[in-house]
Structures are given as structure tokens and as C-alpha cells.
Structure 1
Amino acid sequence: MSKRQSAYLTSLLSDPAPALDAPSPEEAPAPLPSPEAAAPAHRLASTALLARESALARLANGEVKQVTQLLLDPARVRIWPGNARYQAGLTEETCRDLIDSILAEGGQKFPVVVRRLADDPAYEYELIVGTRRHWSISWLRANNYPDMALLAQVQSLDDESAFRLADLENRARRDVSDFERARNYRHALKTFYNDRQNRMAERLNLSKGWLSKMLTVAALPDWAVAAFASPADIQLKVCYGLAQKLSALAEDAPQALKKAKAEASVIAAEQAERRKAGSPSIPSVDVVRRLSAATQDAAGEGESLFQANSAHGRLAVSVLSSNRNGATLRIHAGSGASDDEIVALVAEALTALTAKGKGVKP
């Protein structure tokens, strides 16, 4: 609003000039009604204009954000590749509850978040948050509800801000698996944070240790992922140990890794047969147990880096792996070795690792 307009509003709201000849007490008028009742129409209008000016000033100063919501054709909105959600897992079955809710409400209850595009003639917007809502509206438009529109909130976001917003949304979603988020974190670590885990943890307000575990799970090889019925079955609590083990085997025990890979192929084939027959899939706990057992079997066949027998000639101590994260030693039962003998053999194992250049660094 211009200075002229502001001055005009100020003059309208200012008190009128006092009369030159004040009336005597006898001539004084009766008490005035309340200000609201007595206020002339031009003063009420000017008050509304002033309130509008104040609101515009707060918006200009950044105290208030203007939010734009639109009804869009979902076909003109592409999915941002930085979103963690596993797109192939979105089906009528997995989105049925949301579809029914949208129908009951006559539309979405909560808008998706999009940003404008200027470099893609096929799309006008890019979806940052709300993949299930986008999929459900698209499905409804293709199934007897052609006029159903996507309610969207438009925001200006760079990629890193978009990633943080999408991550915050996905943390509250139980249908976004740990593995989906973990792979998303691995991509973001390289793309936005220059492989600096501490910086990423600070920006996302996450525990550094927890983020490190998620990134370990993200490193599960594709052949191991294929053994699970779905990526949604790969949860941190169940699969972190397996991810750690496979990472260590990749460096120190290729034969054990080969056996684990072969077992993963067998499990994947069984999962496919069960899906075809409509039978329950192999639970993730059993998948982890079988892959871990395959690596142990390979280690038992002599894959260890060091082996030492007790005085009775039976295997007492072996080293299964040694890498930057530490060494994995096994103390075998039934060797007949005393505690002092075991301690001496462990020391011998550490010396042997150091000689091979695989010693454990304190």
C-alpha cells in the first residue's frame, strides 16, 4: 500500500478536531451509545482496510507464509525421485483404506505437497509428499471418478529441503519400510551431504548411531534383497546383523559370500512359488536365519583366516573375518582347551592377523 493510502487511512481513523466553543454542562448531550453502535460506516470500513494492510505487511516481512492450494490433474504431476516410498508396492489393495476415505470425504482430507516445474513439458508440478494420495486419486480417475482432482499445496523447495520434508512425512508412515528409507538416506548422503554422516544426522535431527545402522542396511546387495518377499519386509531390527555380516564377508570371505548368494537364489525361487500358489511368504526372520547359516557353513569348511587346535588336537579358535570394523573370532566348544590355553590361542590369532596385514586397530 502506498504512503498516500496509508496517510488516508490514518486520517480516517484520527479523532476529529475539538469544537472551538465547548457546550455548557446543561447543554451537554446524552451519553453516547457503545463505540460499536456509534461507529460510522466509513470508520468500520477503514478499520477493515487497516487490518488488511497489517496482514499484507506481515506477509511481506515473512511473519506469515502465503499457502497456495490447487486442484490438479495427477497426470500432470510427476513423482520426485528423491521420495523414499517403494512405488511398485502401491496397488489397489495397499491403498484401499485411503481410496475409501477419499470417497467418503468427497476428496482428500490433507493436500499433497508439490513444487512447480519449468523444464518438463509433460508435467507442470513435481510431487514431494503424498505418493499414496497421488496414486489413489489417479486410480479413482481411471475407475469411474474422472472428475476427482488432486488437492495440492504448492511450495518453493530446493532438493535438500524437499528431501527433509519427505523424510519427516515418511517417519510417521508405518507402510514405508526401514529399507526404503535406508536406500533413500544412502542416496541423500552422497547427493546432499558429501558423504558426511554427522552433517546429515544434524540436518535430519537423527541419532548418528541409528543413521549409521540404516546406511549399513541400505548396503544390502540386490541378490540378498531379492530373497525377501518384499523390500517392505527388510526392517532394521531384524536385518542389521545380516547386513553387517555380508559387508564383512565381501572383504574377507568371498567363498562364504558365494554360498550366501546361492542360498539367496534358492529362497527367491521359493518365494516366487509361494506367491504363485497364493501361499504365505517366507518370513524375514527365516530368510535372515538361512542366509546367516549359509555363511557359517562356508566358514566351517575352512574359510577362516586363522585356525588353532588345542593340546588335544581339536579345533579351539578360528578367525572368521577381520576388517576395519573389527575381527570375528570363534571359540569352538568341545576342544578340551583350558581358559589359559584359549587366551594364549587368541593372542596367537591376533599376531597372525597382524602378520597378514589384517590386524585389529585399537
Structure 2
Amino acid sequence: MPRKQSDYLAALLADEGEGERSCDPPAPAPERTRATTLLSRESALARVASGEVRQVTQLLLDPARVRVWRGNARSNAYLSAENCGELIRSIIAEGGQKVPAVVRRIDGDPDHDYEVIAGTRRLWSIRWLRANSYPDMQFVAQVANLDDEAAFRLADLENRARRDVSDLERARNYAEALRVHYGNHQARMAERLNVSKGWLSKMLRVATLPDAVIAAFASPADVQLKPGYTLVQALDHDDTGTIPAEAGRIAHEQKQRVTGGLPPLPAADVVRRLLDAPKQDRSDPFTRYRHDGADGRPAISVQVINRQGVTIRLHRGSGLGADDLSAMFRALLTRLDSDGHPLN
């Protein structure tokens, strides 16, 4: 090392102790220790200068000025003091947030200066703490310069290690990313994410589960990849619509259990009932949707329920007029809607 650089490095080391100076001159450090420290600092500076190591600046941000990036898989609607409790207690015990989130600067939003790419739970927890007896808590973050596709990959990498990000959330996030970032090319997306094409294909299929079926579960977080993919396959062969119909009945039962103070049905039981629904009555699966005329002849009935829609048949010879048939049709639509087959 040239002497001028060595002297400058020594001066930097000396400056670090200026905050605790005493009147007495410091005792000289052993020569070997001083040389080792100088070499370590020289090596560190050389690595920074070469680009091998980047210096990262952490910012203390007002969480009210930070929003969540819309491309993140995590749904804020399901974050609560209960499922963020461990993180909240950790932040309190450590006197603040120790692991920084990753954010990027945004323009054109008068209410926010940054958006979170990775660290949604940390942002939520800091906001909760500021509203609950810790008003001075600040959000610790580091700024990254990322485009949307890189931001998606970074957020996905973090979410893979999070048990509280459900497979359904990730699947729907993947489906959106496939369209927005990868031009609907699954092979390209799999390569960029470093995942198998088969696994990605299954995740994308799970994203197609209809909301009427998801409503049967106590929480969308209960929908995991393997049973979700099995349900998608079953729906492909459910021409009679018995699975969505059973899902509507389970959803109603789940609400009644919550109202009555009972625990919700476990996800495994919900999946079992949905998969068993087509096996219950294959002889006349649409009996509950048939309305008869005064002489017992069928007047209006459902022929097919599938993911494309509902086929309704008006029968000749029922002896009913237009007003009666219209009333039956409206009643039939109400029952279809309550069973998870809305037509709107």
C-alpha cells in the first residue's frame, strides 16, 4: 500500500474514536494488532471499490408514507395482530425493527414516497405498534432500484420461505405475473424463477379455483397446492356442478359455526366433502333445482352446471303460464346463487 493511502487509512481509524476522547493520550496499540486492523480495513475498502461488496444504506421511514407494492403475493386483508404477534413481540423486545425491508422509490403519489417489495408484515407490524403505544417506531428499509419483473422475483423469493403466505395467494400472484411480466410464456417464467415447469403449471391451475369454492374454506390460506390441484382436476369433470353446490352449503355451515362460537371446519374435511360431492347422487343430481307444475309434470329444471354456465330447460306441457314460470325462474336463480352458482 502506498504510504499516503496508508496514512489516510490510519487517519480514518483514528477518527472513529473521536467521540470518546480523554485528556490523556491513548496507549499505543500493539504493532501486530494495528497492522492486522489496517490490513482488514484495506481489504474491506478494496472489496467495496471492486464492486464485490456493495454498501447498503438503511433508512428510517415514516410507515404512513410507505405503501405495499401491488405485485406482492401477500394479502394485507389477512394480516392481524394475532398472526403478526411473534414479529410484533420481537420488535418490542429488540427496541425496534432489526431486519430491514426492501423498498423502492415511487413518483406521482402525493401520499407515499416508497413502496414495499419485501417486508409487508414488517410494515404492517410497525404501523400497528405506532397505533398501539409505540408512536415513535420507525420503519427500517433499504432502497433498491428494481423494475417490476425483478421486484416480483425478489418478493417471490422471500415469500417462499414464509409459511403464512398461502399457496393460493402465490398461485394467483403467479397467474398475474405470467400475464404482466412473461407474456403468458410459462417456460420463460419457470426459468426466471428457477422452478420446474410442472410445478409452476400446477400452481397456475390452482389460481383458477372459483371464489365460490374458495368460500367453503375458513380462510383462503387453507387452500394448499396439492389439494387445490386435486380440486381443479375434479372440477374439470364435474359437469353437474355438484362441487360448487356443496361448496355453497359448506360456506353457509362455516358461517353458522362462527356465529355459534364453534371452530371452523378443518381444511382437510372441506376438501374431502367437496371431492365426495359428485359421488353422492349420480342418478338425478339436479332434483333440488326442478320445479313442477300443478299435475306433477316438470316445468323448469337445470340440465347442466359447469364452469361455463348453467343450462336451464323450460318443459312443455306443465300447464303453467308465463307469470308462474317467471316466479319459478327467479326462485331457481336465488337457489343457484345460494349454492355457489351465481350468474351475475
Would you say same fold, with TM above 0.5? yes
> Computing the radius of gyration over CA atoms, which structure comes out larger, 1 or 2?
1
Partner deviation per Cα, 1:56-103 (whole Å, 9 max, x = no partner): x75465333221201111110000011111211111111111111110
Q: 4+ residue stretches of structure 1 with deviation over 4 A?
A: 10-13, 57-61, 297-300
**How many residues are treated as equivalent by the alignment?**
262
Matched, 1:284 2:273: no
Q: Tell me, yes or no, if structure 1 residue 69 matches structure 2 residue 52.
A: no
Could you tell me how far 1:298 is from its partner in structure 2?
6.1
* Offset at residue 9 of structure 1 (A): 3.8
- Is 1:95 aligned to 2:73, yes or no? no
Residue of structure 2 in register with 1:155 after alignment: 144
Q: Give unmatched runs, 5+ long, in structure 1.
A: 1-5, 14-34, 304-362
- In the TM superposition, 1:249-264 aligns within 5 A as 249=238, 253=239, 256-257=240-241, 259-264=242-247
1:138 equivalent in alignment to 2:127: yes
Shift of 1:297: 4.2
SS of the residue corresponding to residue 136 of structure 2 reads: coil
- 3-state SS of 1:174 partner: coil
Q: For 1:301-312, what aligned pairs fall within 5 Å after superposition?
A: 301=284
List aligned pairs for 1:1-362, cutoff 5 A.
9=4, 36=31, 51=42, 55=45, 59=48, 61-249=50-238, 253=239, 256-257=240-241, 259-297=242-280, 299-301=282-284
Give the distance between the partners of 1:97 and 1:296, measured in 2 at CA. Answer: 43
Using structure 2 for the length normalisation, give the TM-score: 0.69
1:274-325 Cα shifts (integer Å, max 9, x gaps): 122221111122222222233334654489xxxxxxxxxxxxxxxxxxxxxx
Counterpart of 1:335 in structure 2 is none
Partner of 1:331: none
> For 2:73 and 2:6, how far apart are their aligned partners in 1?
57
* Structure 1 residues 217 and 7: CA distance shift in structure 2, 3 A: same
| Structure with greater contact order relative to length (CA < 8 Å, sep ≥ 6) | 2
Counterpart AA for 1:245: A
Alpha-carbon separation, structure 1, partners of 2:2 and 2:97: 45
Structure 1 Cα separation of the partners of residues 138 and 212 of structure 2: 40
1:209: how far off?
1.1
Paired AA for residue 263 in structure 2: P
Contact 1:177 1:234 in 2 (8 A): yes
Partners of 1:96 and 1:302 lie apart in 2 by 46
Alignment check: 8 A CA contact 1:74 1:138 kept: yes
Q: Assess, with a 3 A threshold, how the Cα gap between structure 1 residues 302 and 175 changes in structure 2: closer, same or farther.
A: closer
Question: Is the contact between residue 75 and residue 138 of structure 1 (CA under 8 Å) also seen in structure 2?
Answer: yes
Q: Which runs of 5+ in 2 are unaligned?
A: 9-29, 287-344
What is the one-letter code of the residue matched to 2:275? Answer: S
Alpha-carbon distance in structure 2 between the residues aligned to 1:193 and 1:300: 45
Q: What SS class does the counterpart of residue 273 from structure 1 fall into?
A: helix
After superposition, the CA RMSD in angstroms is 2.9
SS class of match (1:282): coil
C-alpha deviation, 1:272, in angstroms: 1.2
Q: Residue 8 of structure 1: CA displacement? A: 9.5
Partner amino acid, structure 2, of 1:104? A
Q: Give the aligned residue type for 2:232.
A: A
Q: 1:302 to 1:176 in 2, by over 3 A?
A: closer
CA distance in 1, matches of 2:2, 2:277: 84
Shift in Å, 1:134: 0.7
Q: Secondary structure at the match of 1:78?
A: strand
CA contact (8 A) 1:115 1:126 kept: yes
Report sequence identity in percent.
Answer: 59
Matched-pair contact (CA < 8 Å) for 1:238–1:284: no
> Is the Cα–Cα contact under 8 Å of residues 112 and 151 in structure 1 kept in the other structure?
yes
Code of the residue aligned with 1:161 in structure 2: it is A
**In structure 2, distance between residues paired with 1:181 and 1:11:** 53
Contact 1:182–1:215, Cα closer than 8 Å, also in 2: yes
- SS of the counterpart of 1:115? strand
> What displacement does 1:120 show?
1.1
Given residue 212 of structure 1, which amino acid in structure 2 is its aligned partner? S
